[in-house]
Amino acid sequence: MDMKQGTIYTPAKVNLSLKITGARAGLHTLEMETVAVDLFDVVSYVERTNGGVELEFTSTLSDFDECRFRPVIERAVDRFVDEFGEVNAKIVVEKNVPLGAGIGGSSTAVVGVLKALEQLKNTRLDDRFLLSIASDIPVVYRGGHNFVRGVGEDVTPLEKIKKHFVMLVKGGVDSGEAYRTFDQIGFETYGKRENHLEKSARALNPAVIEARNQLEKLGATDVGMSGSGSTMFAVFEGYDEAKKVFDQVCGFDKYLTKSI
């Protein structure tokens, strides 16, 4: 019998906007526009005859902590096996999307592993299952350009866009702490893109302020923050203009990406 094998590329997502609209069952409800960009976690899998799921991790991130991240993936695997039955495979996760950056860093790897498990079991996951893992799993699973409402369950595809992004990351922002801080201090709008968590992120990680200031001083006119931070991004219509700003950025982990 031929053993199944393959490779999954899961893109990071950028929040072009994020508005907190209320609360439901202890969670904040949102309206947000997201777009996938060409920064990928890579998940490779090879089926085996026995032994369950063996996980292996590699990373291009200097601060990647496998001991902290492995349980995130293990919980998703356990949840899948509980619902769909035993899987025997070796799965290798190459972690490239930074964690704590508001661009789906945990969810990109989880989605890649779930898609590998789907192929190994010849099944298809629904929104109910995806939401049982985490609220942003459905939109990361879909990729592309989307509008999201509620607690992540209402994902509406939007027309494909062509944009280039200069993305700056320094340190991290804990999502739960960002939302708790929002409940205490509310929000302000900075620039043309509205993210109700930017005020909280600026309080929790001053590098967010530094990143916005640097991008704007370099001439970027369309600057925003993704998710709960710490990623600040500048949006450009063309590659050359984005590359010019990218080359001048200093003091941050930086990524030059495009929408996909």
Q: Residue 25 CB: number of other CB atoms within 10 A?
A: 6
- Print the SS3 string covering 90-158: EEEEEECCCCCCCCCHHHHHHHHHHHHHHHHHCCCCCHHHHHHHCCCHHHHHHCCEEEEEECCCEEEEC
Q: Helix 105-121 and helix 66-84: axis angle, to 10°?
A: 40
Whether 38 is a known active-site residue: answer: no
Angstrom CA distances, 57 to 60, 66, 91, 184, 220, stand at 11, 7, 9, 38, 36
Q: Is the peptide bond before 230 cis (omega within 30 degrees of 0)?
A: yes
DSSP character string of 156-223: EE------EEEEEE-S---HHHHHHHHHHH-----TTS-BTTHHHHHHH-THHHHHHHHHHHTT--SE
> One of 41, 115, 121, 136 is an active-site residue; which one?
136
Annotated catalytic residue: which of 13, 163, 170, 199?
Answer: 13
Asked whether 178 and 259 are in contact (CB, 8 A), the reply is no
Catalytic residue check, 136: yes
Catalytic residues: 13, 136
